[in-house]
Amino acid sequence: MEIPYTVTARADTGLWNAKIGIWLFLASEVMLFGGLFSGYVFLRLGAASTPDYDWPTELLNVPMGFVNTLILIGSSVTVILSWSALKLREYNKFKIWMSITLLCAVAFLGIKTVEYTEKFTGYGIFLNDGAEIKGKYATEQEGFVTIVPKYPEKAEAAGFTPAPATLAVHEGSYVIPVENVVRWSNFQPSYNTFYSIYFTLTGLHALHVIGGVVVLGYFLFFGGPMWRTNPEHLANRVEVGGLFWHFVDLVWIFLFPILYLM
Amino acid sequence: MAHSAEEIRSHVRFYIGVFVGLIILTILTVWIDQFHIGAEDSDVGNTIVGLAIATLKAGLVAAFFMHLTSEKPMIFRFLFATVAFVIAMFILMLLAHFDPIVPVFVQ
């Protein structure tokens, strides 16, 4: 069965079908991310109006977020250049630009992985008196919770003491009796409100990047037969995939300032 | 949307120009965050400026990379409904924030 209106426009809509389909899909995506963004704003406003509530944006790595922004913007340009190459019937240029797009996506995900690793290897300890001590290499042994604090003077003021030599801990560790601790964990989504919305938003965005890689990679590696039989159809498919990719870029354009800078 | 080869080539040059503009705006976003804008005990000034730049960047991507400047009316009908619903969702959220349900504790 031949699918109609893959290249020519329908008379009633003035568009080929996949164009309508992708815009309807993007509309649903706007609602998905819009719901999460509004949730973020709600939580952020709540944190701002709660005295001493910790909203730890300073823990995010701004240079990494900045580089990732440039990478995604660059990939938005290369994907549109790959589409332009197809419209100009220059298949080899299409392959070059699309390859660069995919490399940008892999670089973005690589940097994101480094950032996530930083979070999962960082720890925080909540004490009975409401204090929160952050650092690395937290453990619990022999009735003590241990940590290498980011700010040792703050840990000492909160009641921590240098770890005794009998404990197998990292150099520079401090300890506090476990009965003084409410809870401790690494910076995982359940750590606090900020990390739950941070991982939800950036994780969902990363899933979209992976989805984009699959779709655009399919066009790059399996687009040859369609190019030989119906190049305009391939160009339209790449345009649709490109629209999705631009949307992924758009989401990050908002995520970067609200998560890393505000 | 571009059709002739010459039109597409001229658009390619334009895309590069938009790319440069987006990079400049991204640098501006990070640079301007060093300064405190507005009231001393409030982040509202910085938030507004940051979101304004992000909106401008998003507008450039949507208008030129996503071809909205030359798209058919049908697409704008979808987008109008989408934007309306998103705004309604944000208004609901703001109403919840500024007029919260206060818990009542019975002694």
Q: Could you report the predicted ipTM of this complex, rounded to two decimals? A: 0.89
Q: Taking CA A39 as the corner, what is the angle to CA A33 and CA A40, rounded to the nearest 5 degrees?
A: 90
Q: What is the pLDDT of residue A181?
A: 95
DSSP structural state of residue B100:
-
| Contacts of A209 by beta carbon, 8 Å cutoff, 6+ apart | A105, A108, A109, A248
CB-CB neighbors (< 8 A) of B62 in chain A: 246, 250
Residues 6 or more apart whose Cβ sits within 8 Å of residue A74: A104, B19
Put simply, whether B9 touches A (Cβ < 8 Å) is yes
Measured distance CA(B33)–CA(B35) in Å, rounded: 5
The string of pLDDT tens digits covering residues A149-186 is: 999 999 999 999 999 888 877 889 999 999 999 999 99
The arithmetic mean of pLDDT across residues B7-28, rounded, is 93
pLDDT classification of A96: cutoffs 50, 70, 90: very high
Residue A178 half-sphere exposure, CB side, CA atoms within 13 Å? 8
CA angle B82, B47, A132 (to 5 degrees): 110
Of A111-115, A146-150, A254-258, B35-39, minimum mean pLDDT range: B35-39
CB-based contacts of A164, cutoff 8 Å, min separation 6: A175
- % of chain A surpassing 90 pLDDT: 76
Q: Which residue has the tokens 């959220």?
A: B93
What pLDDT, on the 0 to 100 scale, is given for residue B6?
A: 85
Task: Find the CB nearest B89 among A35, A46, A73.
Answer: A35
For residues A191-217, average pLDDT:
96
Taking residue A167's Cβ as centre, other Cβ atoms within 10 Å add up to 13
pLDDT bucket at B107, cuts 50 / 70 / 90: low
More confident residue, A175 or A53: A175
More confident residue, A51 or A92: A92
pLDDT at A30 over 90: yes
Burial class (CB in 10 A: 0-12, 13-18, 19+), A179: exposed
How many helices (H) and strands (E) would you count in chain A?
Answer: 7, 6
Cα of A221 vs its chain's centroid, Å: 26
Cβ B75–A15 below 8 Å, yes or no? yes
Residue A208 has pLDDT above 90, yes or no: yes
Q: How far apart are CA A137 and CA A152, in angstroms?
A: 14
Q: What amino acid occupies position A109?
A: L
Per this entry, what is the length of chain B? 107
* Residue range A127-155, pLDDT digits in tens: 998 889 999 999 998 899 999 999 999 99
CA distance A246 to A162: 51
Q: What does pLDDT average to over chain B?
A: 87
Choice among A45-49, A59-63, A107-111, B85-89 with the minimum mean pLDDT: A45-49
Tell me the residues of chain B between 57 and 76 that have a Cβ less than 8 Å away from chain A.
Answer: 57-58, 61-62, 65-66, 72-75
A136: amino acid identity, one letter? K
Residues B9, A88: C-beta atoms closer than 8 Å = yes
Say what the pLDDT of residue A92 is.
Answer: 96
**% residues pLDDT > 70 (chain A):** 99
Q: What is the pLDDT of residue B2?
A: 47
The per-residue pLDDT of chain A, averaged, comes to: 92
Please give the residue of chain B at the shortest CA–CA distance from A19: B75
* Whether pLDDT at B1 is above 70: no
Residue pair A223/A82 in contact (Cβ under 8 Å)? The answer is no
Question: Which two structure tokens, joined as six digits, stand for A98?
Answer: 């699309």
Q: Is residue A125 pLDDT above 70, yes or no?
A: yes
Q: Could you give phi then psi for residue A14, rounded to 5 degrees? A: 80, 10
pLDDT by residue (tens digit) across A237-253? 999 999 999 999 999 99
Contact A262/B82, CB-based, under 8 Å?
no
DSSP codes of every residue in A222-257: H-HHHHHH-HHHHHHHHHHHHHHHHHHHHHHHHHII
Measure the CA–CA gap between A148 and A137, rounded to whole angstroms: 6
User: DSSP H helical segments within A49-61, as ranges?
Assistant: none
pLDDT bracket for residue B96 (50, 70, 90): confident
- Asked if B78's CB is within 8 angstroms of A23's CB, the reply is yes
Amino acid at site A76: S
